[in-house]
């Protein structure tokens, strides 16, 4: 497949301590990557990007961060990168509004999206819980489950490499949005809001941008592998 490489100077990331956290400065390695612009796709794949929560559903939260806001910011970055790569992208929400779970999967099915990528961030009673993980449908056809796992593996590999976050692996679950959508689907948990160190990283736009690039490149690698 012919493609054009556009050099994307990405990203010298510094996750800095704040007066709230008094954490030390964490340097995430600087590196250059390439956005692959596919110009010979006769029908560019359609990816549905789902920003979790929204409106009166804040998701996980602390006194200084709300999951719904980080989900939306991440989803917008993922859309931007995938669009640059040549993919078609639709979002379940592009602003702070509540969208019922059933409407999210219905939108994916109605538009016949090729992939469903749901963005979330984690929380746990154990404040030491940390890391990234991806959920795939527990039930469904063998082909759909296999494709979902393949996608999850590629996305998780990129996320781990780019962010150096601890990988908690791939898990199966019956979350509504990945259960009721009919295409390969993943639900990304990009870190723990309940973990002080990780939650402060999630306040850094450059860190979110890097994590989002990893998701987009994982999606791109999936389409090039099938």
How does pLDDT run across 11-50, given as a tens digit for each residue? 333 333 333 233 222 333 343 345 666 656 778 999 999 9
Residue 125 lies in a domain: yes
pLDDT of residue 202: 98
Helices marked H in the chain? 67-85, 101-110, 142-163, 176-180, 196-201, 205-225
The total of structural domains in the chain comes to 1
Q: What is the mean pLDDT of residues 201-211?
A: 97
pLDDT of residue 146: 98
Q: Which has the higher per-residue pLDDT, 5 or 204?
A: 204
Partnered with residue 185 across adjacent β-strands are 116
Provide the annotated active-site residues.
189
pTM: 0.85
pLDDT of residue 74: 99
Of the candidates 103, 106, 89, 80, which has an alpha carbon nearest to the alpha carbon of residue 49?
A: 89
pLDDT digits (tens, 9 = 90+) for 188-201: 999 999 999 999 99
Strand 13-15, strand 26-28: pairing: antiparallel
Residue 205 lies in a domain: yes
Residue 167, domain CATH: 3.40.630.40
pLDDT at 8 > cutoff 50: no
pLDDT of residue 19: 31
3-state secondary structure of 205: helix
pLDDT digits (tens, 9 = 90+) for 109-167: 999 999 999 999 999 999 999 999 999 999 999 999 999 999 999 999 999 999 999 99
Q: What are phi and psi of 12, to 5 degrees?
A: -85, 110
pLDDT at 182 > cutoff 50: yes
Q: What is the mean pLDDT of residues 80-86?
A: 96
Residue 6 lies in a domain: no
Residue 60 lies in a domain: yes
3-state secondary structure of 69: helix
Can you read off the two tokens belonging to residue 165? 């976050």
Domain that holds residue 155: 44-225
pLDDT of residue 87: 97
The kind and range of the H/E element at 226 are none
pLDDT of residue 170: 99
Residue 37 lies in a domain: no
Residue 33 lies in a domain: no
Q: What is the mean pLDDT of residues 59-77?
A: 98
pLDDT band at residue 97 under the 50/70/90 scheme: very high
Residue 34 lies in a domain: no
Residue 213 lies in a domain: yes
pLDDT of residue 39: 57
């Amino acid at each position: 497949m012919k493609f054009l490489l556009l050099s994307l100077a990405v990203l010298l990331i510094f996750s800095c301590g704040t007066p709230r956290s008094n954490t030390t400065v964490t340097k995430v390695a600087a590196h250059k990557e390439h956005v692959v612009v596919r110009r010979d796709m006769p029908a560019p794949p359609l990816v549905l990007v789902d920003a979790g929560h929204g409106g009166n559903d804040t998701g996980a939260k602390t006194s200084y961060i709300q999951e719904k806001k980080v989900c939306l910011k991440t989803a917008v970055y993922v859309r931007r990168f995938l669009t640059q790569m040549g993919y078609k992208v639709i979002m379940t929400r592009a602003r702070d509004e509540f969208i019922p779970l059933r409407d999210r999967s219905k939108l994916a099915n109605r538009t016949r999206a090729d992939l469903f990528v749901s963005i979330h961030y984690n929380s746990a009673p154990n404040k030491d819980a940390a890391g990234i993980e991806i959920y795939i449908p527990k039930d469904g056809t063998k082909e759909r489950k296999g494709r979902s796992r393949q996608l999850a593996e590629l996305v998780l590999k990129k996320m781990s490499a780019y962010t150096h976050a601890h990988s908690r692996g791939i898990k199966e679950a019956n979350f509504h949005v990945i259960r009721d959508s009919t295409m390969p689907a993943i639900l990304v948990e990009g870190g723990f809001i309940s973990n002080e160190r990780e939650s402060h990283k999630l306040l850094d736009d450059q860190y979110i941008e890097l994590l989002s690039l990893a998701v987009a490149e994982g999606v791109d690698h999936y389409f090039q592998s099938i």
